[in-house]
Amino acid sequence: MRSKDVKKRIVQPDPIFKSRVVTRFINKVMLDGKKSTAEGIVLKALSRISPDTKEAVIVFELAVKNIMPRQEVRSRRIGGATYQIPYPLRHDRAEALAIRWIVDTSRKRKGKDMELKLYEEITNAHKGIGDSIKKRDDTHKMAEANRAFAHFRL
């Protein structure tokens, strides 16, 4: 038997941008509990997008929305065989994956400071190109390829 359900923590909106997505993004960029450093990096990256904060947040949220996957595959063991079963995603899970993919692909880029890498990845995602978009497409392809196993879903 599993332990009791975990209560969902409500993320407070960012004081500058008034957006929960930006707060989640800052928390993902943060390393070793250094939130003020992460806030500075994200603030600089978003100010490169546009000096107007509202416009920058709109571009950022559209970029995240472009990357959000609709389906993912999960492994499930049935009768001694392991199947990759496609599952539709809830909004918060899809958003978390999109944010994670942006930050991870930004960290993999070489030779520049983090704010510039984040800026480039966000603008690429807004345009519909880049590594994060490729990751989303790969996830969708895998879900489509394993659609035959959808009947194993609970």
pLDDT tens for each residue of 2-40? 788 989 889 999 999 999 999 999 999 999 999 999 999
The pLDDT value given to residue 94: 97
pLDDT tens for each residue of 63-74? 999 999 999 999
- Domain extent listing, the chain: 20-72+85-152
Q: Are 44 and 112 in contact (CB under 8 A)?
A: no
Instruction: Specify the residue for token string 């942006």.
Output: 102
Neighbours of 85 (CB within 10 A): 21
Specify the CATH architecture of the domain 20-72+85-152: Orthogonal Bundle (1.10)
Of 133, 119, 138, the C-alpha closest to 25 is: 119
